[in-house]
Amino acid sequence: MDEVVKVGMADWKITTHPGTLMTLGLGSCVGICIYETKKKIIGMAHVMLPDSLAVRSNSNRAKFADTAIPDMVDAMVLAGAERKNLTAKIAGGAQMFAYTSNSDIMRVGARNADASRDTLRTLRIALIADDTGGTYGRTIEFESTNGALMIKTIGHGVHYL
């Protein structure tokens, strides 16, 4: 039976096969799921903000896309993953509240998704699936067996990437 490891907000975890990573309540946050195709090592980060340099209180590196993803990848490599075999899927980044302002600061979900994509690109990890945006939350489960990402949403059902 797979071990289910819960990933909290502003957190990341890795596990080896057989295993499942799960996080609840992705609204404007983004879940970044990385799969090592040969050894079936998986990682999931639940990031809240795009950029660690934009805030003073940045001691929790797992809170930010620009630091959580590289830290998680380094841990996966230490656990035996090969960088050349890494692929990624992301979900979340919703606009949970309606704002009358067009201010970029209020677009936290879109900025989180963009920062996640940019960081993966910088690390040369192929983003093979993306379920971001919208106005609804998501709960995700990531499987080590084949890298399947299950996305559960209220009002939008369940689907797999």
Q: Pick the catalytic residue: 29, 41, 72, 88?
A: 29
Task: Return d(Cα 56, Cα 45) in angstroms, integer.
Answer: 21
The single residue listed with the structure tokens 């050349």 is 84
Asked about 33 being catalytic, the answer comes back as: no
Task: Return d(Cα 14, Cα 5) in angstroms, integer.
Answer: 9
Task: Return d(Cα 152, Cα 160) in angstroms, integer.
Answer: 9
Give one word for 30, left, alpha or beta, with left for phi > 0 and alpha for psi -120 to 50.
beta
Q: Which of the residues are catalytic?
A: 29
